[in-house]
Amino acid sequence: MLLSSSALAVDQADQVTEAERPAELDELVVTAALEPLSVRDVASSVTIITREEIERRQVKYLGDLLRDVPGFSISQAGGMGAQTQLRVRGAEANHMLVLVDGIRANDPASVDEFQFQYALTSSIERIEIIRGPQSSIWGSDAVAGVINIIHRKDTEDTWAAGSVETGSFETVNATAEGGVSRGAIRLQGSVAHAETDGINIAREGDELDGSRNTTANLGFEWDVSDAWQMSASGQQVSAETQFDDVDFFVTGLPVDTDRLTEADRTYLRGKVRYRPEDRRWSGNASLNYTDSDNQNYYDGAWNSSTAAQVIDARLRASVLLGEVEDDQEHRLAAGLDYIDTEFEQRGIATPWGDPNQDQGYDQSSLAAEYVGRVHGRFAWTISGRYNDFSDFENIGTWQAAFSQQVNERFRARGSYGTGFKAPTFTERFGFFADQFIGNPKLKPEKSRGWELGFDSQWADRDIMLSAVYFDQTLEDEIDGFVFDPDSYLFTAVNKDTDSRRQGVEVVFDWQVLDGLDMAANYTYTDASETGPDGMNLDELRRPRHMASLNAQYHFARDRANLNLNISYTGKQLDVFFNPITFVSEYVELGSYTLVDLAGAWKLTDALEITARITNLTDEHYENLLGYSTRDRAVYAGLRGRFQP
């Protein structure tokens, strides 16, 4: 089940060892602060997705898994592997920072969005999700929050595991992974492959749009001494997706066409950590590298490409202040970051312009954070960051938060913070540099937001209820399609008006009885912007109402399990460009409910048979105007884990 902010969390992203872990911080989240922080002290809304849940639901793509997180809205242009966007609490699709084992993974070559269609769930150990402005910790892109995808790291045993699955749409999913532990040295690796003939994503026609994805992960750790640890990790993604183009001349909707994108992603990290026992000081240094490459083919011939490289160097240090007593603790942490980003675009020059361009910028930032805990019940955090950019306006962000454990069953929490999103290369230079006026005065988008909520537990912790109200305002939003009457070209400007997002999230977990767990959540989101006439307009692709229910049942002495997942998405607006009138129109997309059923039976202690049905009720729906989605599908397979 999805665990809310009251859930217990154990760090895996930076592999905090027992020697590194203060006794009173036995349940840690690494994404919510500069240094790992006890989950009971995190004031922002937190969701933890565990490996156990991923295996029980048998979800293969990350986007399908995140659909049920409170405040998360998914838009997908077709079937498995099709372009997928995520909007959180009504924010923009590039306002959520995604990390892969702590490496920044938002793609500068894809308008700074993380490409969820290329993210498989195989070998993921846990996912930490922090909602609300987090730029004081993570800088740009963390306007609506942070997702940290943490891959499996078994550090005690030597093991091997694998799975194979086949089913509807000529789909094949296969994985192989393993780990070796030799005292102070540990090595883990995995390979996953997903392939499908897909569906026809256009409303008409019969041309199938398939996808293929091969993802490899490798991790290495070495405990050099009691105080020093070295680690390295990497991920390589090679994927291709077939898609349809939009008919801009007759229907204004997707139509069968031969289009293909080949995508490669490389994420690399090296890290050194210093944390001796019984010392107040600790620190770490890391060097991270991201490389993305997107090649586009039209009718079998190369058409265009985008690529980006990001080098991210980080230095962290923290110190415990004063005498540490049983009922209080004070910690000060600081961080120094340097990020260099390069962007490349290639294409065929036409009378419309020459798309070939090379751009880049760099940034340096300094962050500081204070964490205090008094009487074991009240904790507060104050953090701030200053970002110095080479090409546009510098910016500072901050956050203040509190957590009050009122009694054993009730915790109150709240936070206020600011965030920002640096301009994308497309917003600054356009797709065609010859047909776009660059705007050197373009400012980063800025936000301010707050939330106030509570977590409660009853019946010996078998029942948990969390609720939060959130409110966020976006300033200086960038409009990249502004017509300049003097040059008859387009440019980008910061809007004078604000956008506001507010709503409520409710999470309910219930251990009904031994072997049966239920989890439910509901989100109400009101996202609006000010139109040209001064009136409020609903933001596109932001449903007001979303809800999910998950039931997990173990039986036959835990040799078997069934998982039922129900996901509801309410009505939402999309935009339709009418090729006859040349006017954009708002269109309402209907609500829909998706039901998935998964089950597994252990043949032996090491081997089990799996089966799942997606879209059990065969719901027909669109979450992007004109793009068809998957009908009912059935899959079956085997998976196992073996130890010598």
- Asked whether residue 518 is domain-assigned, the answer is yes
Q: Name the pLDDT band for 433 (thresholds 50, 70, 90).
A: low
The predicted structure's pLDDT at residue 481: 80
Beta bridge partners of 167: 171, 635
Beta bridge partners of 575: 586
Instruction: Check whether 413 has a pLDDT greater than 50.
Output: yes
Instruction: Check whether 104 has a pLDDT greater than 60.
Output: yes
HEC sequence for 43-66:
CCCEEEEEHHHHHHHCCCEHHHHH
Q: Name the pLDDT band for 6 (thresholds 50, 70, 90).
A: very low
Q: Which residue has the tokens 């090296």?
A: 270
- Asked whether residue 428 is domain-assigned, the answer is yes
Phi, psi of 109 (to 5 degrees): -85, 0
What CATH number is attached to the domain comprising 536?
2.40.170.20
- Asked whether residue 611 is domain-assigned, the answer is yes
* Amino acid letter for position 452: L
Instruction: Check whether 132 has a pLDDT greater than 50.
Output: yes
The predicted structure's pLDDT at residue 392: 86
Nearest one of 494, 354, 343 to 435, comparing CA atoms: 354
Taking the C-alpha atoms of residue 392 and residue 463, their distance in angstroms, rounded to an integer, is 50
Q: What's the predicted TM-score (pTM) here?
A: 0.94
Strands 560-569 and 583-589: unpaired
Q: Name the pLDDT band for 376 (thresholds 50, 70, 90).
A: confident
Nearest one of 373, 261, 278 to 33, comparing CA atoms: 373
Instruction: Check whether 10 has a pLDDT greater than 80.
Output: no
Instruction: Check whether 16 has a pLDDT greater than 50.
Output: no
Range name among 8-12, 141-145, 566-570 with the lowest pLDDT average: 8-12
pLDDT tens track for 535-551: 888 999 999 999 999 99
Over residues 303-323, the mean pLDDT reads 94
- Asked whether residue 6 is domain-assigned, the answer is no
DSSP 426: H
Phi, psi of 170 (to 5 degrees): 55, 45
Taking the C-alpha atoms of residue 146 and residue 139, their distance in angstroms, rounded to an integer, is 11
Q: Name the pLDDT band for 153 (thresholds 50, 70, 90).
A: confident
The predicted structure's pLDDT at residue 73: 97
The predicted structure's pLDDT at residue 24: 38
Instruction: Check whether 20 has a pLDDT greater than 70.
Output: no
Range name among 274-288, 327-341, 525-539 with the lowest pLDDT average: 525-539
Taking the C-alpha atoms of residue 330 and residue 335, their distance in angstroms, rounded to an integer, is 17
The predicted structure's pLDDT at residue 14: 43
Mean pLDDT over each residue of the chain, to the nearest integer: 92
- Asked whether residue 610 is domain-assigned, the answer is yes
Over residues 593-605, the mean pLDDT reads 97
Instruction: Check whether 76 has a pLDDT greater than 50.
Output: yes
Over residues 449-453, the mean pLDDT reads 98
Taking the C-alpha atoms of residue 145 and residue 143, their distance in angstroms, rounded to an integer, is 6
Q: Name the pLDDT band for 460 (thresholds 50, 70, 90).
A: confident
Taking the C-alpha atoms of residue 93 and residue 145, their distance in angstroms, rounded to an integer, is 11
Q: Name the pLDDT band for 485 (thresholds 50, 70, 90).
A: confident
Higher-confidence residue of 243 and 351: namely 243
Instruction: Check whether 488 has a pLDDT greater than 80.
Output: no
Taking the C-alpha atoms of residue 343 and residue 425, their distance in angstroms, rounded to an integer, is 8
Tokens found for residue 476 = 């200086």
Q: Which residue has the tokens 């999910």?
A: 548
Instruction: Check whether 396 has a pLDDT greater than 70.
Output: yes
* Percent of the chain scoring above 90 in pLDDT: 79
The predicted structure's pLDDT at residue 112: 97
- Asked if 483 and 102 touch (Cβ cutoff 8 Å), the reply is no
Instruction: Check whether 534 has a pLDDT greater than 80.
Output: no
Instruction: Check whether 7 has a pLDDT greater than 70.
Output: no
The predicted structure's pLDDT at residue 438: 78
Instruction: Check whether 21 has a pLDDT greater than 60.
Output: no
Instruction: Check whether 164 has a pLDDT greater than 80.
Output: yes
- Asked whether residue 12 is domain-assigned, the answer is no
Range name among 312-316, 429-433, 476-480 with the lowest pLDDT average: 429-433
Range name among 120-134, 309-323, 324-338, 573-587 with the lowest pLDDT average: 324-338
Which residues span the domain enclosing 144?
Answer: 18-642
The predicted structure's pLDDT at residue 581: 85
Instruction: Check whether 400 has a pLDDT greater than 50.
Output: yes
How many domains does one find in the chain?
1
* Percent of the chain scoring above 70 in pLDDT: 94
Instruction: Check whether 44 has a pLDDT greater than 60.
Output: yes
Instruction: Check whether 434 has a pLDDT greater than 90.
Output: no
- Asked whether residue 2 is domain-assigned, the answer is no
- Asked whether residue 234 is domain-assigned, the answer is yes
Over residues 591-620, the mean pLDDT reads 97
Q: Name the pLDDT band for 15 (thresholds 50, 70, 90).
A: very low
Q: Which residue has the tokens 């290329």?
A: 118
The predicted structure's pLDDT at residue 18: 34
Q: Name the pLDDT band for 154 (thresholds 50, 70, 90).
A: low
Instruction: Check whether 12 has a pLDDT greater than 50.
Output: no
Beta bridge partners of 261: 241, 296
Tokens found for residue 380 = 């507060």
Tokens found for residue 77 = 């242009």
Q: Name the pLDDT band for 281 (thresholds 50, 70, 90).
A: very high
